[in-house]
Amino acid sequence: MSIVIEQPVEARLVAAAPRMPSIPATLHYDRRDPFAVRMTFPAPATLEGVEVCWTFSRELLTEGLTESVGHGDVRVRPYGYDRTVLEFHAPEGTAVVHVRTGEVRRFLDATGELVPVGLEHLQLDLDHDLAQLMRDV
């Protein structure tokens, strides 16, 4: 069984201009980091011209499908019937993207099949991680 899920999504960048350009993005989930999801934007889609990856909780993404959540660097909220808004806040500015809610749901369903919600802790090897932390002490 695979330990990583990657799903391309079409993100629409919200800009001052009336037309929102489409940018490719990829949602990632790794069973070895069971509480987190990542959203990656390729270099051509970023202001810096380098690939940008945001990491946030799977729970935040799930809750953001039905209500406005997040108070930090990543915020998620529903937008109409079929869109989800993700806001990414950085010192350089804020990026706001719309993603089809159906794409996000399919991704979350796949992550739930890989690691059921509520059982994430079973994927962690806390003894190994603690040993790694203490190794250099």
Whether 78 contacts 64, CB under 8 Å:
yes
Integer Cα distance of 80 and 135 in angstroms: 50
* pLDDT tens readout for residues 69-120: 998 899 999 999 899 999 999 888 888 999 999 999 999 999 888 776 665 5
Q: What is the DSSP letter of 42?
A: -
Looking at per-residue confidence, does 128 or 101 come out higher?
101
Say whether pLDDT at 63 is over 70: yes
Strand order through the sheet with 22-30: 52-57, 36-41, 22-30, 4-13, 93-100, 83-90, 74-79
Average pLDDT over residues 54-72: 94
CA dist 98 and 39 (Å) reads 13
User: pTM for the whole thing?
Assistant: 0.80
